[in-house]
Structure 1
């Protein structure tokens, strides 16, 4: 029995496509996660920078630790800040990230990004950091100094 090469190639391609569609990476996050960023960044009287918003997440048995990373970029200055403790219980929570230094930021428009990150550990060391939710948009930096 003779099978044309074109038909055999099409069959192999279909099998590969089906495998790609239905295979999920072992550490993929399957629960709903989200983060939002308020449209304003604050520079306090003491010179610290504050970004804030809300998040929600749920942990799966394969989830690692969860953290929030906030970044503000203005006129070539870039400031990344970590937020406090993250609770993944499916409910919405407020978050706030504060840096003690303004690092070249001033009043005016900027771009900010908030990321909800999952950290997968290998022993005591991080093996991978995955961004599971992100919010990015223009913000207004308000200087209260």
Structure 2
């Protein structure tokens, strides 16, 4: 094993140790995230997903991210991202992203949405407030 491989392996292990504690804190009991049962795809390929979220507090910036898969479960398309406000109230989120026409068609699809905070101190690490993973119906329009 070369010195470069040893340093690379040590760096990777150190980064994993840094991220692991944050990644374990998934889904706070008081925070909620929903995905609407229908998403939309326009003729130009623009995909729109939406739902609601609620989070009580955060010390860093918070975002709702979403991705969608249809057909091949190994292929997910990132569908935008939006800022979130953690004030305890329920809020709507909507994410849109233009994909190649035909990348997503009307029918069943699978959505993964995440309510995620970036820690406000030191290296910004993700802290997951809520995750929603569900099938939806994609409709034209």
TM above 0.5, one fold? yes
Cα pair 2:69 2:111 within 8 Å, conserved: yes
Instruction: Look up the match of 1:143.
Output: 140
C-alpha distance in 2, partners of 1:102/1:121? 36
Question: 1:40, CA displacement in angstroms?
Answer: 0.9
Structure-1-length-normalised TM-score: 0.68
Q: Which has the higher contact order (CA 8 A, sep 6+)?
A: 2
* Partner SS state of residue 99, structure 2: coil
- Kindly indicate whether residue 98 of structure 2 is the aligned counterpart of residue 100 of structure 1: yes
Query: Unpaired segments of 5 or more residues in structure 1?
Result: 1-24
C-alpha distance in 1, partners of 2:84/2:135? 24
TM superposition outliers: structure 1 runs of 4+ over 4 Å = 28-31
Matches within 5 A, 1:59-74: 59-60=57-58, 63-74=59-70
Matches within 5 A, 1:39-118: 39-60=37-58, 63-76=59-72, 77-102=75-100, 104-118=103-117
Larger radius of gyration: 1
